[in-house]
Structure 1
Amino acid sequence: HGVYQALLANGVGRTVEEREGEKEKIHRIVLAVSSDYFRGMFTCGMRESHQSCVALPFLSTSELEVLIGYSYSGILLLSWDSVFEITCMALQLQFQSALSICLNFMKKEMQASSCLDVASFAEAYGMSELLEEANDFVLRNFMEVSSTSKFQDLQAEKLLNFLRCDGLCVPSELAVFRAVISWIEADPEERLAHAGLLMTGVRFPLMTFREFREVRAINLRMECFGNKEVELYGSALKEFGFSLPKSQDHCRIRRPKDAVVLVGGDQLNPDVGQRIPSREVWFANSLRSGTGLVKDIEWRRLTEIPDKPKFRHGVAVMDGRLYVIGGCFFYAKDDIMKSAYSYDPVSDCWKRLADMQEFRSNLSVVVHELHLYAIGGDKDINTNVDSVEMYNPDTDTWSFVRPLDLALSGHAAAVTNGEIFISGGFNCKYECLVSTCLYHPERGTIYLADMTHDRAQHCMEALQSHLYVAGGVCNLRKFYTDQLVCEVYDTVADCWTTFASLPMPHVGAASIVLEEKIYVLGGYCQDDYSESALVHRFDPIMQRWENMGKLPGAVTDIRACLMHLPQHLRHFSSSTL
């Protein structure tokens, strides 16, 4: 670093930026407004406040130029190649707004290749919130992180802290063992000494006998290379053989910051008179990883809808409140509803809202620009509608906005990049559609590329500027049958591609995105009307579905959303399933 000199100007104009060791003309007031450091320098009687030229020794020219440029333009261009250096200087010179942008960049753009660097940086500078975000990213994406070169540079102590954490997300404990072995083999002479301690972070009782064979094989391989002092197999065998596989002491239990909330639903009892639609609202308090690939969800009751039971309804979360809209409470013509309720989890109170202007079930509800939109749906058992209503929470009123181009029900809607997307559904003849459109409450409908396969009563979720559709029914054989093919839409390229098919049918299922993974919950099989209480999760990185456990109650025509719940509900509720 050389000496950077600033020629401080009080007039208008600014010279072109010059190289290190030369002078740059800068307005005092611009620096004082942007930086607490310079504000103190120029306004607290320091000698620099009277100097026309100020020397700034030991500062990097390139980062300082970036911050000065930001002071004038309000634009801060960041990349992983520069963000840590710019953040350091923003801290040193107290450019608070630039610092906020840098920290936000690290949180929003964090990747498997950068999260460990962010964690180290946050720890070095005492940034506890950023450190928590980075460590949690490592836990959520451990499989991907463990395959990076940065993972191989981890200190043994830090690696062990991750391994011992309940919140570590892995498909099985064998994946944890493999990660440890890859870390050891990156520098075996130095790291074999840490092997025994690191293996205490692997929960061997959660392995199956087939998985444990790999542990034995790897230990034997190490012994063949002359590493007789390695006792992976012996210590692991002792723990594997004499521990209880189902012990909760060994189960990995993850509590995401936001909770999946399930609302209402129905059960397809062959005797219609025995069907009991649900008023219950449940939430997923924790995700549990057990032996092998066994997963489970800890469900807890949150509340009950203060109305008749609901299924084929709409739900949304806005300003921390849960909204439950429309739906039906049974299967007759007059059983469709237009009521609306909101629930505040902080006060544990429901509020009856103004009714919609139309009866609606099998609708979609989205949040767009701080308003709710109830889109399409069935107004009776044989008629769907093209109308769309907007709810204004400030006035507690519903008003019609621009209608759809055609009547729709059983469709799916999602918001990404500030725009409302709609896919599939039934038309007025109750045929399944392949269409995809962009809907705007004032401008109406713009059609996009069609899906490859028709579908209705399906799920659609937005993730990283892509739309993922799964489940539902289709018109494959002139009558409804299960749609197992899944597709993803690229909102930039306007095209659909298929991804891994569902392992089983999910018609009338709920869906949600939690921690960058897509959950499909419940539903039924159209071919034989059997129900599925299973929850499947798709990992876009691993490109596969996994079984996450079962639902607690009603399993079909349910709805789900993501909510931040008070801590006392997350840890001390007595109604645990």
Structure 2
Amino acid sequence: MELARQQLPIGWEERWRRDKERRKRVIEEGGEKVKEENRRLRWIKAYNDNRMGVKHSVWQECTHKFGLPEEDGGRVERKEEKGCEEGKRTYHSATYTKQVFQTLEDFRHASLLTDLTLSTQDGHHLCAHSPVLAAVSSIIYSKLLEQEQEQEQDGHGGRKTRINLGPEVSHLGLAAVLDFAYTGAITNLTRDTAAQVRAAAQALEAPRVLELCDGMERTDKGGHGDKDKEEERKKRLSPPEQLETSLQAIKQLWIERVGCDVVLEAQEREFTAHRVLLAASSDYFRGMFTSGMRESQERSITVPCLGDEELEVFLHCSYSASLDLTWDQVFDLVCSALQFQIQPALSLCLDFLKQEMDADSCLDVASFAEAYGMRDLLELADDYVLRHFQEVSVTPKFQDLSAEKLLEYLCCDGLCAPSELTVFRAVVIWLEANLPGRLPQATRLMKSVRFPLMTFREFCEVRAINLCMECSANGEVELYGMAFKDFGISNSEEHFRVRRPKDALVLIGGDQLNPDTGLRIPSRQLWFANALRSRVGLVKDIEWRMLGELPDQARFRHGVAIMAGKLYVVGGCYFYAKTDTMKSGFSYDPLQNTWQKIADMHEPRSNFTVVVRGNGLYAIGGDKDINTNLDSVEVFCPESNSWSFTRPLDQALSGHAAVVWKGEIFISGGLNCEYKCLVSMLLYHPEKGTVHLSDMAHDRALHCMESLGGRFYVAGGVCNFRKFYTDHLGCEVYDPVEDSWCTIAPLPIPHVGAASAILEEKLYVLGGYCQEDYSESRLVHRYDPTTGRWLSVGKMAGPNTDIRACVLRLPEQLRK
């Protein structure tokens, strides 16, 4: 146990104890209503525990108090009153299953915690873990059931089992079954070895292994073409899916208390479990069970400093890779997961803290991360405070900040605020929370407010706030004398607030309008926004830098997407003739700063969309030439470097917009085969086809659509308001859950054929042109969902019409 604790942060025990006591006091001070609700939840949990075979003395109370069923009718669902568990989220680890089975396989090779020996008549012996093999073998499952019955009779458990197999089972076949149990695949399954693998699978009654053998034999039969083999392959579960099935089977063993060889005691409750799975998911239990400690031989173990509810949560996570989390419990769970080094639970809790962070919780997260030495989490929390400073500054927790922490935020160049007046107001709020005690801090805090960035009208508000009315006149003169002095300083570089987002906004290709088509020069350039600057008042600008050039011809009306950290650029036009539409594509690796050509699409496309779904790149619709648009959809596979057609749209489209949300492709507006603007919102599935959803309020094409916070923001473009195309300034938001639209603030100027991207939870619309007079829109506008307003944040760099944008993580050497 001491070895397991050495990796924990210094001082964690005392901090954990204090945090535990503090949260306990909060609950106790919450009144009888909170206490009663907590008791109710514990009763419901206790009943569910009894259904899983966990002993508890109070579970019968819930049958009388809440009318829960007394018979075995399945697990009771937790159905609290509305608002009781507001903010509850279920988090699932996509990598845990692979990691835990890899650890289990390592245990097997090292003969750690193996309790099952399988012997063949040719003298070979293979060791394994009975829960892992029972997940694929009915014979092993039956053996574990028999042992469970014997244990109940004689009180002994934790025995090692030896099974001698018949002459039909070879060492090769047995090894293949074990390989499948731990990896979800059989590496040596061929036509020559299939018979031996089948014999072992039949002897152990392993149906999923037999299915693999049957599938291989079906594909090897004569007369089957490549299409039949591909269909057969799709029917089989992949190795990751096989492992997920095995983990679910092991979880069922745990629920049924089959093969459990250890009892964990926490407070007044007992939980049965499998030692090997605990060791695979927790360094604490691994040290306990494999280092020769006394607990490695005992069946019943008391777990110190861990609540029964927390232990239940951790066990559920170890068997399912899932956690139901709320803000009320997550900090306690992180503390305990750190103490007992339960990595899957810790990872999910940290994911919750990162993804569910908001203005009300970010300061708690920052304080927690600082106390426990979690640098990455602290950096994320601090960055959230800087990006949402205005919203955070009006929360009650902001008033509890220390002067040093507030000063750290105020002095940071990366602080984002509509204007410096917002920063000043935040300082006033903090001071007024305890004016007599905090007024001595006013001078140094006010020095961090950049008064030269205020307009004269804003500074008038500053002067109207008199913090020193209750204090001496000298204090007032000192405070505002310093403010007036700073306000009079010229607007120099050192007074800018310059934010450098971690991700860079990248512009690719594009065109510049010219009445003389022959003088137009499409672009090969790539630009990126290295920094966002705040000047006086609401004046903003962007520091653009050149990233490089496309390796092939210049292009506009093309498609771009980010997949696996790489930028993909495909299709588009290199000029305005009928045959100038391209089907070529390239990928850019920012880590290597290199371009690589990818396979050509089957059809040339411009004015189309490219989205990433799963591991594929989807090119949807577009113009084939000047007068013909497409209904076809192609998908690019990076592993095979090939494009293939998938199910087409139900009509030809170009000039549309598309986003991917929860693995589904949504397509809005566009031009049909008659080049009329559409009002449609479509849900497109590569296999099932197209489903029509609620229409937009207005028809729209050559517009932008981006997904932000589970909603789709649609802006810019043209419409058929009259017989000819007209600028569309109106903006709409689509809710995919409710299948409904609502309007938001309109764009200040037209943006037709513009680029768009989401950067730091804000929508950027870049460039484009005005359909009315065919002039270029050289401005960049940003929409903030929290304020509901559009703000001009700077001008474009280089070309700005029919351009595309993305957000890409660039290495630091490219940004210097």
TM-score, scaled to structure 1: 0.94
Counterpart selection for 1:38 from 285, 300, 321: 285
8 Å Cα contact 1:64-1:89 kept in structure 2: no
- Single out whichever of 268-277 and 142-151 deviates more from structure 2: 268-277
**Residue of structure 1 in register with 2:729 after alignment:** 484
| Structure 1 residue 349, shift from structure 2 partner | 2.2
Deviations 1:540-566 (A, max 9, x none): 111111111001111110000111112
**Residue of structure 1 in register with 2:718 after alignment:** 473
Q: Which has the larger radius of gyration?
A: 2
**Residue of structure 2 in register with 1:201 after alignment:** 448
**Residue of structure 2 in register with 1:78 after alignment:** 325
Counterpart selection for 2:432 from 174, 185, 192: 185
| Structure 1 residue 327, shift from structure 2 partner | 0.9
8 Å Cα contact 2:619-2:634 kept in structure 1: yes
**Residue of structure 2 in register with 1:372 after alignment:** 617
Return the letter of the residue paired with 2:571. Answer: G
Per chain length, whose mean CA-contact separation is higher, i.e. which structure has more relative contact order (CA < 8 Å, sep 6+)?
A: 1
How far apart are the structure 1 equivalents of 2:517 and 2:545?
Answer: 28
**Residue of structure 2 in register with 1:144 after alignment:** 391
Alignment CA distance shift 1:503-1:71 (3 Å): same
Return the letter of the residue paired with 1:296. Answer: D
**Residue of structure 2 in register with 1:328 after alignment:** 573
**Residue of structure 1 in register with 2:745 after alignment:** 500
**Secondary structure at the counterpart of residue 379 of structure 1:** coil
Deviations 1:307-329 (A, max 9, x none): 22211111111222221111112
Confirm whether residue 561 of structure 1 aligns to residue 813 of structure 2: no
**Secondary structure at the counterpart of residue 452 of structure 2:** helix
Alignment CA distance shift 1:398-1:207 (3 Å): same
**Residue of structure 2 in register with 1:360 after alignment:** 605
Alignment CA distance shift 1:238-1:532 (3 Å): same
| Structure 1 residue 186, shift from structure 2 partner | 1.3
How far apart are the structure 2 equivalents of 1:529 and 1:404?
Answer: 31
The answer to which structure has the higher strand fraction is 1
**Secondary structure at the counterpart of residue 399 of structure 1:** strand
**Residue of structure 2 in register with 1:244 after alignment:** 490
How far apart are the structure 2 equivalents of 1:416 and 1:47?
Answer: 51
Deviations 1:130-155 (A, max 9, x none): 11111111111111111111111111
| Structure 1 residue 86, shift from structure 2 partner | 0.6
Alignment CA distance shift 1:299-1:48 (3 Å): same
**Secondary structure at the counterpart of residue 714 of structure 2:** strand
**Residue of structure 1 in register with 2:524 after alignment:** 279
Confirm whether residue 118 of structure 1 aligns to residue 369 of structure 2: no
| Structure 1 residue 418, shift from structure 2 partner | 1.1
Deviations 1:39-87 (A, max 9, x none): 2222222222333433334433332332233334443211110000011
How far apart are the structure 2 equivalents of 1:10 and 1:17?
Answer: 14
**Residue of structure 1 in register with 2:345 after alignment:** 98
Alignment CA distance shift 1:184-1:331 (3 Å): same
Task: State the number of aligned residues.
Answer: 564
How far apart are the structure 1 equivalents of 2:293 and 2:158?
Answer: 17
**Residue of structure 1 in register with 2:794 after alignment:** 549
| Structure 1 residue 19, shift from structure 2 partner | 8.3
Alignment CA distance shift 1:394-1:32 (3 Å): closer
| Structure 1 residue 253, shift from structure 2 partner | 0.9
| Structure 1 residue 359, shift from structure 2 partner | 1.6
The answer to which structure has the higher helix fraction is 2
**Secondary structure at the counterpart of residue 378 of structure 1:** coil
| Structure 1 residue 18, shift from structure 2 partner | 9.2
Counterpart selection for 2:667 from 413, 422, 440: 422
How far apart are the structure 2 equivalents of 1:377 and 1:330?
Answer: 16
Counterpart selection for 2:502 from 250, 257, 278: 257
Counterpart selection for 2:686 from 425, 433, 441: 441
- Single out whichever of 14-23 and 274-283 deviates more from structure 2: 14-23
Return the letter of the residue paired with 1:210. Answer: R
How far apart are the structure 2 equivalents of 1:185 and 1:459?
Answer: 44
TM-score, scaled to structure 2: 0.67
- Single out whichever of 275-284 and 392-401 deviates more from structure 2: 392-401
How far apart are the structure 2 equivalents of 1:265 and 1:325?
Answer: 13
**Residue of structure 2 in register with 1:523 after alignment:** 768
Which consecutive unaligned segments of at least 5 residues does structure 2 have? 1-19, 22-53, 56-155, 160-256
- Single out whichever of 441-450 and 61-70 deviates more from structure 2: 61-70
How far apart are the structure 2 equivalents of 1:416 and 1:127?
Answer: 31
Return the letter of the residue paired with 2:351. Answer: N
**Residue of structure 2 in register with 1:540 after alignment:** 785
**Residue of structure 2 in register with 1:165 after alignment:** 412
**Secondary structure at the counterpart of residue 249 of structure 1:** helix
| Structure 1 residue 89, shift from structure 2 partner | 0.5
Query: Aligned runs of 1:123-134 on 2, under 5 Å?
Result: 123-134=370-381
Counterpart selection for 1:69 from 298, 316, 341: 316
Return the letter of the residue paired with 2:307. Answer: S
Return the letter of the residue paired with 2:741. Answer: W
CA RMSD of aligned residues (A): 2.1
**Residue of structure 1 in register with 2:536 after alignment:** 291
Deviations 1:320-356 (A, max 9, x none): 2221111112222122212212222233222222221
8 Å Cα contact 1:10-1:28 kept in structure 2: no
Counterpart selection for 1:60 from 307, 316, 320: 307
Return the letter of the residue paired with 1:48. Answer: E
**Secondary structure at the counterpart of residue 215 of structure 1:** helix
Counterpart selection for 2:676 from 406, 417, 431: 431
Deviations 1:369-428 (A, max 9, x none): 121111111111111111111112222222211111111110001111111110000011
- Single out whichever of 440-449 and 55-64 deviates more from structure 2: 55-64
How far apart are the structure 2 equivalents of 1:442 and 1:204?
Answer: 59
8 Å Cα contact 2:653-2:671 kept in structure 1: yes
